[in-house]
Amino acid sequence: MRSANPSARRKQPPIVHAVPRRRMSLGRPSNSAKTQRISKFISNAIRTVNTPPMPANGFRNSANPVIERGRLSSRETTMFADVRRCISIALFAAAVSACSVNYKVAGSFENANEVFRGDINHNLLIGEAEVVATGENSGIVCKGRSYVTHKPVLALGCAGQRGKVDMTCDDGRSLDVDFRAHSCSSGDGRGSDAYGNRFTFAFGLDEQEAEKYIAQRLPQVQQRPALRGFAPTGVSAAPVAPTASPTNFSRKAAAQGLPNFPTTAHPIAFSSIKPRPDDIAVIIGNANYSAKGTNVPDVVPAYADAEGFKNYVISALGVPTGNVVMVRDATSAEMSYIFGTKRNPKGKLAEWVKPNQSQVYVYYAGHGAPGDKTGRSFLVPVDVDDSMIGIKGIALETLYANLSKLSAKSVTLVVEASFSGISESGNVLNKMLPNLRPIETPVPKNLTVAIAGAPSQVASWEQDSSHGLFTKYLLKGMSGDADRSPHGNGNGTASWTDVDAYLKATLSKLTRQYYGRRQVAQISISAP
């Protein structure tokens, strides 16, 4: 029988289209989808536990101050709040744990007979990962934690992110590692250690992919030399990590002594003192940037400046020759190995120091530059191009902080560099970051720091590029010239106050005379 209602006849059952479910790559949910589901789960769970139970009388809120039959007592309310808090914490902890994914990493060395593989535990919620990798031939185990240093603007997900991994190994070496993400669970990268070993790697692999990676690359590395700094069991060799005293890092013989890089210091006579066996000097001369293929210009007098400072610490300060760490053309990994990083402030220098007895002297000649839009100052290792200064450069504030944490009797830092991004040999700044304004870096009270000039000034050279003007006249002042009138009081000791006055009369005068610009050394003396 037909219905008399026309609208009832027109009603049709809804048509439901079957939409195929999208399949996610590698069987893993996307970061955003998984995070949304977990967030919703937490919200619903907390909303549930935050709702107090209905009392027996059916009234949740009563204006009657008298505790009615069936209502919660104040003690019961407190107990319920404690239970609710514990459940909330447990739910959050479970959610954080649920955000972790595990996958494999595998890599090979470019200049050594070594490949490695390992595991990554990546927490997508906090954006960090724990990494453990083992060398196939050496058996060296390295561990570390990753962190993101760059996120693309308006990017969805993790693709395009860049970051670093601070890793230490069970043989004492540290690794400087950079990575780039293809997704939230895959990517590639490269790294190096203080011995010059370089490697590349891929992550986001499953077990079979990691096995295939290793099998393909093992034959490729077999003809390469052994891993530098590694002594196999039973073989007599020098220890990988020096413990009693510093070692000499000057191993780049092919790059040293080139005709266009003077290596002889200006002759200056210093009054010698008795050796001080506990004192240490770290001297870095970064001259040959072009050898690493970077787009940063060379610093021609850096080797000669470093040699001059070496003569000074040995002759005038009594630092034993064996306690002088001399590094030419230091890479980012080498500098981090010696001085530490922001996350791992104890570098090798911290191990060499004898608590409350060692006097530490650090000297750097090379490039400095602002590395990011904040104008922070960075030292520029020789393997860093202008686009990576803010990522792989050595932040001056980090260097200050790590040096100030040393258990030394005193620490002195001398820097033959400017941080304006402009040098005698050309522009150090990335052309994509114009008009950066370098800012002053506060000096901790327990450090003595002398820098070639103010952040916006240029560190000038002698006109024949034989020396940096700051280093040359700093050493001349320390030799006794600064103690003489009108700069000093002739008491036989050139103090930092005397040297400051002497540099204003020599360095600042010569830069105006030679180049028509202003350069005033910046000296900060530690508090007594």
Q: Kindly report the CATH number assigned to the domain that includes residue 340.
A: 3.40.50.1460
Tokens representing 117 are 């593989």
pLDDT for 421 equals: 84
Q: Which of 381, 404, 469, 327 minimizes the C-alpha distance to 192? A: 381
C-alpha distance from residue 277 to each of 322, 326, 353, 513 (Å): 9, 17, 11, 42
Pair (152, 282) in one structural domain: no
Helix (H, G, I), strand (E, B) or coil at 342: coil
Q: Is 326:377 a contact under the CB 8 Å cutoff? A: no
- Does residue 402 lie in a domain region? yes
- Does residue 237 lie in a domain region? no
Q: Is 417:365 a contact under the CB 8 Å cutoff? A: yes
pLDDT for 255 equals: 36
Tens of pLDDT, residue by residue over 269-299, are: 998 899 999 999 999 999 999 888 778 899 9
- State which amino acid sits at residue 62: S
Pair (268, 400) in one structural domain: yes
Q: Is 273:279 a contact under the CB 8 Å cutoff? A: no
- Does residue 25 lie in a domain region? no
The pTM of this model reads: 0.56
Tell me the sheet residues that pair with 198: 192
Pair (448, 489) in one structural domain: yes
Burial classification of residue 140, based on how many CB atoms lie within 10 Å of its CB (0-12 exposed, 13-18 middle, 19 or more buried): buried
- Does residue 142 lie in a domain region? yes
Q: Which of 497, 478, 365, 360 minimizes the C-alpha distance to 418? A: 365
Instruction: Give the number of residues written for the chain.
Output: 528
Q: 204: domain CATH number? A: 2.40.128.120
For 59-173, where are the E strands, in sequence order?
Answer: 100-109, 115-123, 128-135, 141-150, 162-169
Q: Is 345:351 a contact under the CB 8 Å cutoff? A: no
Pair (202, 307) in one structural domain: no
Q: Is 458:514 a contact under the CB 8 Å cutoff? A: no
d(CA 344, CA 350): 11
pLDDT for 420 equals: 87
pLDDT for 172 equals: 80
Pair (194, 265) in one structural domain: no
Pair (378, 435) in one structural domain: yes
Domain count, the chain: 2
Tokens representing 283 are 């001297």
Pair (162, 266) in one structural domain: no
Kindly report the number of other CB atoms within 10 A of residue 206's CB atom.
12
Pair (274, 198) in one structural domain: no
Pair (211, 261) in one structural domain: no
pLDDT for 364 equals: 98
pLDDT for 371 equals: 80
- Does residue 505 lie in a domain region? yes
- Does residue 33 lie in a domain region? no
- Does residue 519 lie in a domain region? yes
190 lies in which domain range? 100-221
> Which residues of the chain, if any, have pLDDT below 70?
1-99, 125, 154-156, 230-259, 430-436
Strand ranges across the sheet with 367-370: 367-370, 377-380, 394-395
Pair (189, 313) in one structural domain: no
pLDDT for 424 equals: 84
- Does residue 64 lie in a domain region? no
Q: Evaluate the omega torsion of the peptide bond into residue 486 and state whether it is cis, within 30 degrees of 0.
A: yes
Pair (297, 433) in one structural domain: yes
Pair (258, 327) in one structural domain: yes
